Amino acid sequence: MKDDFSIKGEVIAALEGVEDPGQGGKNIVDTHLVEQVEVKAGVADITLVMPKGRAREERFTIEDAVYDKVEAIDGVLEVKVKTMTPQALEREQNGEPAPAPSAQPAAAPAARPAAGKASPAAQPQAAPSAPIEGVGKVIAVASGKGGVGKSTVAVNLALALQKIGHRVGLLDVDIYGPSLPTLLGISGRPAVSNRRILPMEADGLRVMSLGFLMDEDTPVIWRGPIVTGIIRQFLRDVDWSGLDYLIVDMPPGTGDAQLALAQTVPVDGAVIVTTPSDLSLIDAARGLQMFKTLNVEVMGIVTNMSKFIVPSTKEEFFIFGNPAEVAKEAERLETPVLGEIPLDLTVREGGDAGRPVVVGQPDSPVTEAFVELATKVAELKPPHADGEGGEGAEQPKKGLFSFLKS
Ligand SMILES: Nc1ncnc2c1ncn2[C@@H]1O[C@H](COP(=O)(O)OP(=O)(O)OP(=O)(O)O)[C@@H](O)[C@H]1O
Protein backbone atom coordinates (compact mmCIF):
# COMPACT_ATOMS: atom_id res chain seq x y z
CA MET A 1 0.00 0.00 0.00
CA LYS A 2 1.23 3.49 -0.83
CA ASP A 3 2.12 5.80 2.02
CA ASP A 4 0.73 9.29 2.44
CA PHE A 5 4.07 10.85 1.53
CA SER A 6 4.19 9.29 -1.93
CA ILE A 7 0.50 10.01 -2.47
CA LYS A 8 1.19 13.65 -1.66
CA GLY A 9 3.80 13.74 -4.40
CA GLU A 10 1.28 12.40 -6.86
CA VAL A 11 -1.33 14.91 -5.71
CA ILE A 12 1.05 17.82 -6.35
CA ALA A 13 1.95 16.34 -9.75
CA ALA A 14 -1.77 15.98 -10.53
CA LEU A 15 -2.43 19.61 -9.57
CA GLU A 16 0.23 20.62 -12.05
CA GLY A 17 -2.06 19.10 -14.64
CA VAL A 18 -4.91 21.51 -13.77
CA GLU A 19 -4.92 24.58 -15.96
CA ASP A 20 -5.63 28.00 -14.52
CA PRO A 21 -8.08 29.46 -17.06
CA GLY A 22 -7.04 32.70 -18.68
CA GLN A 23 -3.42 32.43 -17.50
CA GLY A 24 -1.76 31.57 -20.78
CA GLY A 25 -1.93 27.82 -20.26
CA LYS A 26 -0.15 27.88 -16.87
CA ASN A 27 -1.20 25.37 -14.26
CA ILE A 28 -2.61 26.21 -10.82
CA VAL A 29 0.61 25.34 -9.00
CA ASP A 30 2.63 27.73 -11.13
CA THR A 31 0.07 30.50 -10.72
CA HIS A 32 0.18 29.97 -6.92
CA LEU A 33 -3.48 29.09 -6.51
CA VAL A 34 -2.50 26.02 -4.51
CA GLU A 35 -1.74 27.06 -0.96
CA GLN A 36 -1.49 23.75 0.82
CA VAL A 37 -1.70 20.01 0.23
CA GLU A 38 -2.01 17.57 3.11
CA VAL A 39 -2.55 13.83 2.85
CA LYS A 40 -3.45 11.85 5.96
CA ALA A 41 -4.66 8.26 5.88
CA GLY A 42 -5.59 8.60 2.21
CA VAL A 43 -7.60 11.81 2.71
CA ALA A 44 -6.26 14.59 0.48
CA ASP A 45 -6.87 18.06 1.90
CA ILE A 46 -6.24 20.81 -0.63
CA THR A 47 -6.42 24.53 0.05
CA LEU A 48 -6.76 26.85 -2.92
CA VAL A 49 -6.46 30.62 -2.73
CA MET A 50 -8.40 32.81 -5.15
CA PRO A 51 -9.18 36.51 -5.03
CA LYS A 52 -12.78 37.43 -4.33
CA GLY A 53 -13.28 38.90 -7.78
CA ARG A 54 -12.50 35.66 -9.55
CA ALA A 55 -15.36 34.51 -11.80
CA ARG A 56 -17.48 31.77 -10.24
CA GLU A 57 -17.39 29.69 -13.42
CA GLU A 58 -13.61 29.70 -13.39
CA ARG A 59 -13.52 28.74 -9.75
CA PHE A 60 -15.88 25.83 -10.31
CA THR A 61 -13.98 24.68 -13.38
CA ILE A 62 -10.76 24.62 -11.35
CA GLU A 63 -12.33 22.85 -8.38
CA ASP A 64 -13.94 20.23 -10.61
CA ALA A 65 -10.66 19.55 -12.35
CA VAL A 66 -8.91 19.26 -8.97
CA TYR A 67 -11.44 16.70 -7.76
CA ASP A 68 -11.25 14.71 -11.00
CA LYS A 69 -7.48 14.57 -11.11
CA VAL A 70 -6.88 13.90 -7.43
CA GLU A 71 -9.64 11.31 -7.04
CA ALA A 72 -8.07 9.29 -9.81
CA ILE A 73 -4.88 8.77 -7.80
CA ASP A 74 -4.46 5.30 -6.47
CA GLY A 75 -4.61 5.40 -2.67
CA VAL A 76 -6.68 8.59 -2.38
CA LEU A 77 -9.86 7.72 -0.48
CA GLU A 78 -11.35 11.17 -0.15
CA VAL A 79 -10.68 14.62 -1.56
CA LYS A 80 -11.40 17.83 0.36
CA VAL A 81 -11.01 21.14 -1.42
CA LYS A 82 -11.18 24.42 0.46
CA THR A 83 -11.07 27.63 -1.55
CA MET A 84 -10.28 30.82 0.34
CA THR A 85 -9.64 34.43 -0.42
CA PRO A 86 -6.13 35.69 0.39
CA GLN A 87 -7.64 37.80 3.17
CA ALA A 88 -9.38 34.81 4.76
CA LEU A 89 -6.19 32.82 4.54
CA GLU A 90 -4.23 35.56 6.25
CA ARG A 91 -6.80 35.75 9.03
CA GLU A 92 -6.66 31.99 9.47
CA GLN A 93 -2.87 32.04 9.61
CA ASN A 94 -2.98 34.82 12.19
CA GLY A 95 -5.48 32.83 14.23
CA GLU A 96 -8.11 35.56 13.87
CA PRO A 97 -11.80 34.66 13.99
CA ALA A 98 -13.74 34.60 10.72
CA PRO A 99 -15.83 37.75 10.17
CA ALA A 100 -19.57 37.92 9.52
CA PRO A 101 -20.96 35.46 6.95
CA SER A 102 -21.06 37.99 4.10
CA ALA A 103 -17.28 38.21 4.14
CA GLN A 104 -16.59 34.50 4.47
CA PRO A 105 -13.93 32.73 2.48
CA ALA A 106 -14.64 32.34 -1.23
CA ALA A 107 -16.03 28.88 -0.62
CA ALA A 108 -16.66 26.48 2.20
CA PRO A 109 -14.66 23.28 2.29
CA ALA A 110 -16.21 20.51 0.28
CA ALA A 111 -15.37 16.84 0.37
CA ARG A 112 -15.91 14.15 -2.19
CA PRO A 113 -15.16 10.49 -1.54
CA ALA A 114 -13.00 9.12 -4.27
CA ALA A 115 -15.39 6.54 -5.65
CA GLY A 116 -15.05 4.88 -9.05
CA LYS A 117 -11.31 4.93 -9.59
CA ALA A 118 -9.88 5.65 -12.98
CA SER A 119 -7.95 2.86 -14.66
CA PRO A 120 -4.25 2.76 -13.72
CA ALA A 121 -3.35 3.97 -17.19
CA ALA A 122 -5.31 7.16 -16.60
CA GLN A 123 -3.71 7.90 -13.23
CA PRO A 124 -1.51 10.96 -13.03
CA GLN A 125 2.15 10.15 -12.74
CA ALA A 126 4.81 12.16 -10.97
CA ALA A 127 5.97 15.06 -13.15
CA PRO A 128 8.61 13.86 -15.61
CA SER A 129 12.00 15.07 -14.49
CA ALA A 130 14.39 16.29 -17.18
CA PRO A 131 18.10 16.61 -16.40
CA ILE A 132 19.59 20.07 -15.87
CA GLU A 133 21.33 21.15 -19.06
CA GLY A 134 25.10 21.09 -18.74
CA VAL A 135 25.27 19.54 -15.27
CA GLY A 136 27.06 16.24 -14.77
CA LYS A 137 25.71 14.85 -11.51
CA VAL A 138 23.20 16.16 -8.98
CA ILE A 139 24.00 15.08 -5.43
CA ALA A 140 21.69 15.88 -2.52
CA VAL A 141 23.17 16.37 0.93
CA ALA A 142 20.51 15.62 3.49
CA SER A 143 19.98 14.84 7.14
CA GLY A 144 17.08 13.43 9.10
CA LYS A 145 17.61 15.96 11.87
CA GLY A 146 18.66 19.60 12.05
CA GLY A 147 21.97 20.81 13.41
CA VAL A 148 24.10 17.77 12.57
CA GLY A 149 26.35 19.80 10.26
CA LYS A 150 24.65 19.04 6.96
CA SER A 151 25.32 22.49 5.44
CA THR A 152 28.91 22.44 6.67
CA VAL A 153 29.40 19.07 4.99
CA ALA A 154 27.67 20.26 1.79
CA VAL A 155 29.91 23.34 1.50
CA ASN A 156 33.15 21.53 2.28
CA LEU A 157 32.26 18.54 0.11
CA ALA A 158 31.65 20.95 -2.78
CA LEU A 159 35.00 22.67 -2.17
CA ALA A 160 36.80 19.34 -1.83
CA LEU A 161 35.32 18.14 -5.12
CA GLN A 162 36.64 21.34 -6.63
CA LYS A 163 40.02 20.76 -5.00
CA ILE A 164 40.31 17.40 -6.79
CA GLY A 165 39.64 19.07 -10.11
CA HIS A 166 35.89 19.26 -10.67
CA ARG A 167 33.63 22.18 -11.53
CA VAL A 168 31.07 22.48 -8.80
CA GLY A 169 27.86 24.36 -8.04
CA LEU A 170 26.13 24.56 -4.71
CA LEU A 171 22.40 25.04 -4.32
CA ASP A 172 20.91 25.78 -0.93
CA VAL A 173 17.25 24.83 -0.73
CA ASP A 174 17.14 24.78 3.06
CA ILE A 175 13.96 26.81 3.16
CA TYR A 176 13.88 26.84 6.96
CA GLY A 177 17.28 28.41 7.40
CA PRO A 178 19.45 28.94 4.34
CA SER A 179 22.97 29.10 5.75
CA LEU A 180 25.24 29.04 2.70
CA PRO A 181 25.60 32.84 2.49
CA THR A 182 26.96 32.84 6.06
CA LEU A 183 29.12 29.75 5.66
CA LEU A 184 30.67 31.11 2.48
CA GLY A 185 30.74 34.74 3.57
CA ILE A 186 28.79 36.09 0.60
CA SER A 187 25.78 38.33 0.29
CA GLY A 188 23.95 40.38 -2.30
CA ARG A 189 21.40 39.63 -4.96
CA PRO A 190 22.10 37.40 -7.93
CA ALA A 191 21.99 39.10 -11.32
CA VAL A 192 19.56 38.14 -14.05
CA SER A 193 20.78 37.92 -17.61
CA ASN A 194 18.82 36.83 -20.64
CA ARG A 195 15.99 35.84 -18.30
CA ARG A 196 18.20 33.45 -16.38
CA ILE A 197 19.39 33.88 -12.80
CA LEU A 198 23.18 33.95 -12.58
CA PRO A 199 24.58 32.12 -9.59
CA MET A 200 26.87 34.03 -7.22
CA GLU A 201 30.51 32.98 -6.94
CA ALA A 202 32.40 32.05 -3.80
CA ASP A 203 35.80 30.35 -3.62
CA GLY A 204 35.37 29.23 -7.22
CA LEU A 205 31.98 27.62 -6.56
CA ARG A 206 28.80 28.73 -8.26
CA VAL A 207 26.28 29.29 -5.52
CA MET A 208 22.58 29.90 -5.28
CA SER A 209 20.70 30.19 -2.04
CA LEU A 210 17.32 31.31 -0.89
CA GLY A 211 19.27 33.39 1.57
CA PHE A 212 20.20 35.76 -1.29
CA LEU A 213 16.55 36.51 -1.89
CA MET A 214 15.23 36.75 1.65
CA ASP A 215 15.60 39.30 4.38
CA GLU A 216 17.44 37.71 7.27
CA ASP A 217 14.55 38.26 9.64
CA THR A 218 11.82 36.99 7.34
CA PRO A 219 9.96 34.17 9.02
CA VAL A 220 9.70 31.35 6.53
CA ILE A 221 6.20 29.98 6.29
CA TRP A 222 6.18 28.69 2.75
CA ARG A 223 4.00 25.68 2.25
CA GLY A 224 4.36 22.65 0.04
CA PRO A 225 3.39 23.92 -3.40
CA ILE A 226 5.30 27.19 -2.96
CA VAL A 227 8.37 25.24 -1.91
CA THR A 228 7.93 23.13 -5.03
CA GLY A 229 7.77 26.28 -7.17
CA ILE A 230 10.88 27.79 -5.59
CA ILE A 231 12.93 24.64 -5.95
CA ARG A 232 11.83 24.18 -9.53
CA GLN A 233 12.89 27.72 -10.38
CA PHE A 234 16.24 27.27 -8.68
CA LEU A 235 16.89 24.17 -10.73
CA ARG A 236 15.46 25.32 -14.02
CA ASP A 237 15.93 29.11 -14.12
CA VAL A 238 19.44 29.38 -12.72
CA ASP A 239 22.29 29.11 -15.20
CA TRP A 240 24.12 26.02 -13.94
CA SER A 241 25.68 25.14 -17.28
CA GLY A 242 29.21 23.74 -17.38
CA LEU A 243 29.26 21.93 -14.04
CA ASP A 244 30.52 18.48 -13.15
CA TYR A 245 28.56 18.42 -9.91
CA LEU A 246 25.65 20.29 -8.43
CA ILE A 247 25.56 19.75 -4.68
CA VAL A 248 22.14 20.45 -3.18
CA ASP A 249 21.92 21.36 0.50
CA MET A 250 18.49 20.06 1.53
CA PRO A 251 16.42 21.15 4.53
CA PRO A 252 16.56 18.66 7.39
CA GLY A 253 13.84 16.05 7.63
CA THR A 254 11.58 14.38 5.15
CA GLY A 255 9.31 16.82 3.43
CA ASP A 256 8.19 18.85 0.48
CA ALA A 257 11.67 19.99 -0.59
CA GLN A 258 12.91 16.44 -1.02
CA LEU A 259 9.80 15.57 -2.95
CA ALA A 260 10.12 18.65 -5.16
CA LEU A 261 13.79 18.00 -5.93
CA ALA A 262 13.19 14.37 -6.89
CA GLN A 263 10.23 15.33 -9.07
CA THR A 264 12.01 18.16 -10.87
CA VAL A 265 15.35 16.66 -11.87
CA PRO A 266 16.92 13.23 -11.79
CA VAL A 267 18.92 13.12 -8.56
CA ASP A 268 21.99 10.96 -9.02
CA GLY A 269 22.60 10.28 -5.38
CA ALA A 270 21.92 11.35 -1.82
CA VAL A 271 24.44 11.63 0.97
CA ILE A 272 22.96 11.42 4.47
CA VAL A 273 24.76 13.34 7.21
CA THR A 274 24.43 12.21 10.80
CA THR A 275 26.24 12.47 14.11
CA PRO A 276 26.84 9.25 16.04
CA SER A 277 24.07 10.10 18.54
CA ASP A 278 21.14 7.66 18.80
CA LEU A 279 18.59 10.29 17.90
CA SER A 280 20.42 11.45 14.78
CA LEU A 281 20.78 7.85 13.68
CA ILE A 282 17.07 7.14 13.97
CA ASP A 283 16.34 10.24 11.91
CA ALA A 284 19.05 9.36 9.39
CA ALA A 285 17.38 5.98 8.84
CA ARG A 286 14.10 7.78 8.22
CA GLY A 287 15.75 10.11 5.70
CA LEU A 288 17.33 7.17 3.95
CA GLN A 289 14.00 5.40 3.68
CA MET A 290 12.42 8.54 2.23
CA PHE A 291 14.98 8.77 -0.57
CA LYS A 292 14.35 5.11 -1.37
CA THR A 293 10.64 5.89 -1.64
CA LEU A 294 11.52 8.66 -4.07
CA ASN A 295 13.72 6.29 -6.09
CA VAL A 296 16.84 8.30 -5.29
CA GLU A 297 19.94 6.20 -4.71
CA VAL A 298 21.41 6.70 -1.26
CA MET A 299 25.17 6.70 -1.79
CA GLY A 300 25.95 6.41 1.88
CA ILE A 301 26.21 8.05 5.27
CA VAL A 302 28.67 10.68 6.45
CA THR A 303 29.41 10.65 10.16
CA ASN A 304 29.99 14.23 11.22
CA MET A 305 31.55 15.18 14.55
CA SER A 306 32.69 11.57 14.73
CA LYS A 307 35.31 12.23 17.40
CA PHE A 308 37.30 14.99 19.02
CA ILE A 309 41.07 14.68 18.92
CA VAL A 310 42.91 16.69 21.54
CA PRO A 311 45.47 18.65 19.49
CA SER A 312 48.29 18.39 22.05
CA THR A 313 47.94 14.75 23.15
CA LYS A 314 46.08 13.24 20.15
CA GLU A 315 43.76 11.62 22.68
CA GLU A 316 40.37 10.80 21.15
CA PHE A 317 36.96 11.52 22.68
CA PHE A 318 33.64 10.37 21.29
CA ILE A 319 31.54 13.35 22.32
CA PHE A 320 28.36 12.50 20.41
CA GLY A 321 28.66 8.72 20.65
CA ASN A 322 30.85 6.12 19.06
CA PRO A 323 31.08 6.21 15.24
CA ALA A 324 31.14 2.41 15.36
CA GLU A 325 27.40 2.68 16.07
CA VAL A 326 26.96 4.53 12.77
CA ALA A 327 28.87 1.78 10.98
CA LYS A 328 26.58 -0.82 12.57
CA GLU A 329 23.46 1.10 11.60
CA ALA A 330 24.79 1.64 8.07
CA GLU A 331 25.29 -2.10 7.72
CA ARG A 332 21.75 -2.73 8.89
CA LEU A 333 20.52 -0.21 6.32
CA GLU A 334 22.75 -1.79 3.66
CA THR A 335 24.52 1.45 2.85
CA PRO A 336 28.21 2.36 3.20
CA VAL A 337 29.78 4.94 5.51
CA LEU A 338 31.34 7.33 3.03
CA GLY A 339 33.38 9.32 5.44
CA GLU A 340 34.00 10.49 9.00
CA ILE A 341 34.55 14.15 9.79
CA PRO A 342 35.98 14.90 13.24
CA LEU A 343 34.63 17.55 15.57
CA ASP A 344 37.12 20.34 15.14
CA LEU A 345 37.20 23.91 16.29
CA THR A 346 38.52 25.11 12.93
CA VAL A 347 35.37 23.81 11.23
CA ARG A 348 33.11 25.87 13.45
CA GLU A 349 35.36 28.93 13.30
CA GLY A 350 35.64 28.66 9.53
CA GLY A 351 31.86 28.43 9.22
CA ASP A 352 31.30 31.48 11.41
CA ALA A 353 33.94 33.48 9.56
CA GLY A 354 32.60 32.59 6.11
CA ARG A 355 35.84 30.80 5.28
CA PRO A 356 35.17 27.05 5.09
CA VAL A 357 37.88 24.82 6.48
CA VAL A 358 38.75 23.29 3.09
CA VAL A 359 39.91 26.73 1.85
CA GLY A 360 40.87 28.25 5.22
CA GLN A 361 42.97 25.28 6.43
CA PRO A 362 43.82 23.45 3.21
CA ASP A 363 46.40 21.14 4.79
CA SER A 364 44.55 20.22 7.97
CA PRO A 365 43.39 16.67 8.85
CA VAL A 366 39.75 17.82 8.58
CA THR A 367 40.33 19.01 5.02
CA GLU A 368 41.94 15.66 4.32
CA ALA A 369 38.79 13.95 5.60
CA PHE A 370 36.66 16.09 3.26
CA VAL A 371 38.93 15.35 0.31
CA GLU A 372 38.65 11.61 1.05
CA LEU A 373 34.89 11.99 1.13
CA ALA A 374 34.88 13.90 -2.16
CA THR A 375 37.13 11.29 -3.78
CA LYS A 376 34.70 8.55 -2.76
CA VAL A 377 31.72 10.52 -4.04
CA ALA A 378 33.48 11.13 -7.37
CA GLU A 379 34.39 7.45 -7.65
CA LEU A 380 30.82 6.37 -7.03
CA LYS A 381 29.35 9.04 -9.28
CA PRO A 382 31.85 10.18 -11.90
CA PRO A 383 30.61 13.23 -13.79
CA HIS A 384 29.39 12.67 -17.32
CA ALA A 385 32.02 12.92 -20.01
CA ASP A 386 29.79 15.55 -21.59
CA GLY A 387 29.59 17.64 -18.42
CA GLU A 388 30.22 20.75 -20.47
CA GLY A 389 27.32 20.09 -22.76
CA GLY A 390 24.34 22.32 -22.95
CA GLU A 391 26.06 25.62 -22.41
CA GLY A 392 24.00 28.34 -23.95
CA ALA A 393 21.16 25.91 -24.54
CA GLU A 394 17.95 27.79 -25.04
CA GLN A 395 15.16 27.01 -22.58
CA PRO A 396 11.80 28.67 -22.31
CA LYS A 397 11.92 30.78 -19.16
CA LYS A 398 9.12 32.54 -17.46
CA GLY A 399 8.18 34.11 -14.20
CA LEU A 400 11.62 34.68 -12.69
CA PHE A 401 11.28 35.39 -8.98
CA SER A 402 7.53 35.11 -9.40
CA PHE A 403 7.31 33.12 -6.18
CA LEU A 404 8.53 36.14 -4.28
CA LYS A 405 5.78 38.33 -5.66
CA SER A 406 2.96 35.97 -4.73
N1 LIG B 1 32.80 18.72 12.19
C2 LIG B 1 32.48 19.83 12.86
N3 LIG B 1 33.27 20.30 13.83
C4 LIG B 1 32.94 21.43 14.53
N5 LIG B 1 31.83 22.14 14.32
C6 LIG B 1 31.00 21.71 13.36
C7 LIG B 1 31.27 20.54 12.58
N8 LIG B 1 30.25 20.37 11.69
C9 LIG B 1 29.40 21.39 11.90
N10 LIG B 1 29.82 22.18 12.91
C11 LIG B 1 29.17 23.38 13.45
O12 LIG B 1 27.87 22.99 13.89
C13 LIG B 1 26.92 24.01 13.65
C14 LIG B 1 25.77 23.48 12.81
O15 LIG B 1 26.26 23.15 11.53
P16 LIG B 1 25.38 23.31 10.21
O17 LIG B 1 24.73 24.66 10.14
O18 LIG B 1 26.21 22.87 9.08
O19 LIG B 1 24.27 22.21 10.53
P20 LIG B 1 22.95 21.83 9.71
O21 LIG B 1 22.73 20.38 9.96
O22 LIG B 1 23.08 22.27 8.30
O23 LIG B 1 21.90 22.70 10.45
P24 LIG B 1 20.42 23.10 9.97
O25 LIG B 1 19.59 21.97 10.37
O26 LIG B 1 20.16 24.33 10.79
O27 LIG B 1 20.46 23.34 8.49
C28 LIG B 1 27.69 25.13 12.98
O29 LIG B 1 28.07 26.07 13.95
C30 LIG B 1 28.92 24.45 12.41
O31 LIG B 1 30.03 25.31 12.28
Q: What per-residue confidence (pLDDT) applies to 160?
A: 98
Q: What per-residue confidence (pLDDT) applies to 115?
A: 53
CB within 8 A of 382, min separation 6: which ones? 137
Q: Is residue 401 part of a domain?
A: no
Whether residue 25 is found in the same domain as residue 72:
yes
Q: What per-residue confidence (pLDDT) applies to 129?
A: 66
pTM score of the predicted model: 0.70
Beta bridge partners, 175, equal none
**Which of 143, 152, 249, 349, when mutated, tests ligand 1's pocket best, judged by the most ligand atoms within 8 Å of its CB?**
152
| Ligand 1 lining (C-beta closer than 6 Å) | 143, 146-152, 174, 177, 179, 252, 304-305, 341, 343-344, 347-348, 351
Whether residue 102 is found in the same domain as residue 192:
no
Domain of 22, CATH number, reads 3.30.300.130
Tell me the C-alpha distance between 353 and 314, whole Å. Answer: 26
Q: What per-residue confidence (pLDDT) applies to 208?
A: 94
Q: What per-residue confidence (pLDDT) applies to 122?
A: 32
Tell whether 145 is in a known binding site.
yes
Low-confidence ranges of the chain (pLDDT < 50): 101-108, 116-128, 385-406
Give the tens place of pLDDT for each residue, 208-222: 998 887 766 655 556
Tell me the C-alpha distance between 388 and 213, whole Å. Answer: 28
Of 122, 152, 172, the last residue of a domain is 122
Tell whether 149 is in a known binding site.
yes
Q: Report the candidate in 185, 183, 206 with the shortest Cα–Cα distance to residue 196.
A: 206
- Residue span of the structural domain in which 342 resides: 135-380
Give the tens place of pLDDT for each residue, 263-317: 889 999 999 999 998 888 888 888 888 888 888 999 999 999 988 888 888 888 8
Whether residue 73 is found in the same domain as residue 144:
no
Whether residue 98 is found in the same domain as residue 225:
no
Shortest-distance Cα residue to atom 15 of ligand 1: 149
Q: Is residue 385 part of a domain?
A: no
Q: Is residue 277 part of a domain?
A: yes
**Which of 180, 348, 368, when mutated, tests ligand 1's pocket best, judged by the most ligand atoms within 8 Å of its CB?**
348
